[in-house]
């Protein structure tokens, strides 16, 4: 039986393929357009390199894996097991692919029917068409990707928890800085606070793909408002301030944490803001409760169900027109991981929540003059689903 290599347990993949009624998993990439296949095959990390020609690597449900590589890049798959064939021109490519797929009737690829899950749809339509023309049915590799590219081991969970603790400290420092400046009459802007937060990221040893969101009042009504030197506003008294920050430890194979909290730059939070936040918190808690109950019961749960649990609370309270995004996303070495999203709104994510998954729960409501969101992180272990940090119960009065 083939052994684990490049961080991938071939035997485990083959067991999963057999359980799902698949003849194989066909990994394919061109110029790094399929980062999932590159990660699975170890291209660009710990072996191989980013290929500039097309390569294919088939992990069959039984037997030895096999690959097809361009003669210019004949060594690109040397670090993974199995025989590698070479091609040069397009005729040799098609002939080589046909030989690679001999005896195969149904393979998994990074494809998603009708683009239902675009995060998985990494293989171009022409390549899928070519494989199908050879008499091979193509199924989505969505759940395979989850099992073998997105599941956190204990070491990854430790990095997440440490990043989470650091983010909460930075959130507290940011709220304290806003409060002090308002009390002292020191003018401050969204951008000022964002840049302070980036200094604290460095102090905590965190890295991120983007500075935090600091959004005051009407800017909080834009879920992706990003302060820039020329695009930000002052933070004034009696306003909503939303902080959304994400980061991971600056080390290999660390995974992200991602949180959002809401403050108010006054003594007493107005009823309207408090009511909207209360509804968002109830939606968040409904999603968490569903995940925890299903996990404890050993019941299969899919991403769209979690989104529906949260969004039904928001819509039931009459706020349906103010929902702008899904309930949550996968977390991984990228802040938006390749695992299941809590989504029945932007997509219909029917992938399963698996033990070892990490993800956000972050419902929000957005208006022309303000917005609120509450974001927490969850992880699933065997028969237990946990929130990995403090949960906001009400808008924080900062002054």
Write the CB contacts of 90 (distance below 8 Å, at least 6 apart in sequence).
none
Over the chain (399 residues), the average pLDDT of each successive run of 10 is 56 96 97 92 63 94 97 94 97 98 97 89 96 97 91 96 98 98 97 98 98 98 96 97 98 96 97 98 98 97 98 98 98 94 95 96 98 98 95 97
**Confidence (pLDDT) at 262:** 98
Q: Where along the chain do its domains lie? A: 10-149, 151-397
**Confidence (pLDDT) at 51:** 76
226 in Cβ contact with 241 (< 8 Å): no
Round to whole Å and give the CA distance between 379 and 300.
Answer: 15
**Confidence (pLDDT) at 13:** 96
DSSP 87-156: E-SHHHHHHHHHHHTTT--EEEES--GGGSSTTT--S-HHHHHHHHHTT-EEEE-HHHHIIIII---HHH
Architecture of domain 10-149: 3-Layer(aba) Sandwich (3.40)
194 in Cβ contact with 205 (< 8 Å): no
Round to whole Å and give the CA distance between 361 and 288.
Answer: 8
Round to whole Å and give the CA distance between 167 and 213.
Answer: 13
Cα–Cα distance list, 320 to 301, 343, 367 (Å): 24, 15, 11
Q: Which of 348, 273, 344 is nearest to 315 (CA)?
A: 344
- Indicate the Cα dihedral angle 342, 345, 350, 353, nearest 10°: 10
Burial of 209 (0-12, 13-18, 19+ CB in 10 A): exposed
Q: What is the pTM of this model?
A: 0.90
Round to whole Å and give the CA distance between 352 and 299.
Answer: 10
Round to whole Å and give the CA distance between 98 and 93.
Answer: 9
10 in Cβ contact with 3 (< 8 Å): yes
Q: What is the assigned CATH class of domain 151-397? A: alpha beta
Q: Which of 371, 329, 361 is nearest to 346 (CA)?
A: 329
């Amino acid at each position: 039986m083939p052994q684990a290599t490049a961080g991938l347990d071939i035997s485990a993949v083959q067991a999963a393929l057999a359980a799902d009624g698949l003849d194989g998993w066909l990994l394919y990439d061109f110029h790094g357009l399929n980062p999932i296949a590159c990660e699975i095959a170890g291209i660009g990390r710990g072996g191989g390199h980013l290929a500039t020609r097309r390569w294919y690597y088939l992990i069959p449900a039984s037997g030895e894996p096999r690959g097809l590589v361009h003669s210019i890049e004949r060594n690109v798959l040397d670090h993974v097991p199995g025989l590698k064939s070479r091609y040069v021109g397009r005729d040799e490519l098609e002939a080589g692919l046909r030989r690679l797929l001999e005896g195969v009737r149904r393979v998994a690829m990074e494809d998603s029917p009708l683009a239902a899950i675009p995060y998985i749809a990494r293989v171009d339509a022409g390549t899928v068409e070519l494989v199908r023309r050879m008499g091979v049915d193509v199924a989505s590799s969505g759940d395979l990707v989850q099992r073998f590219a997105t599941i956190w081991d204990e070491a990854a969970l430790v990095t997440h928890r440490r990043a989470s603790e650091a983010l909460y400290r930075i959130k507290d420092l940011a709220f304290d800085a806003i409060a002090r400046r308002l009390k002292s009459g020191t003018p401050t802007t969204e951008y000022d606070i964002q840049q302070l937060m980036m200094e604290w990221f460095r102090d905590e040893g965190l890295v991120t793909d983007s500075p935090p969101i600091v959004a005051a009042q009407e800017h909080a009504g834009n879920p992706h408002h990003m302060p820039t030197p020329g695009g930000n506003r002052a933070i004034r008294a009696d306003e909503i301030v939303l902080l959304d920050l994400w980061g991971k430890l600056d080390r290999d194979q660390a995974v992200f944490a991602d949180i959002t909290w809401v403050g108010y730059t006054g003594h007493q939070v107005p009823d309207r803001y408090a009511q909207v936040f209360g509804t968002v918190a109830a939606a968040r808690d409904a999603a968490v409760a569903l995940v925890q109950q299903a996990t404890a019961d050993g019941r299969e749960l899919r991403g769209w169900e979690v989104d529906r649990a949260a969004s039904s609370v928001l819509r039931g309270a009459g706020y349906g027109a103010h929902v702008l995004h899904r309930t949550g996303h996968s977390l991984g070495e990228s802040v938006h991981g390749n695992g299941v999203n809590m989504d029945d709104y932007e997509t219909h994510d029917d992938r399963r929540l698996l033990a070892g998954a990490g993800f956000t729960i972050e419902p929000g409501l957005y208006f022309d003059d303000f917005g609120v969101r509450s974001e927490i992180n969850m992880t699933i272990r065997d028969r237990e689903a946990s929130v990995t940090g403090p949960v906001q119960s009400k808008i924080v009065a900062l002054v």
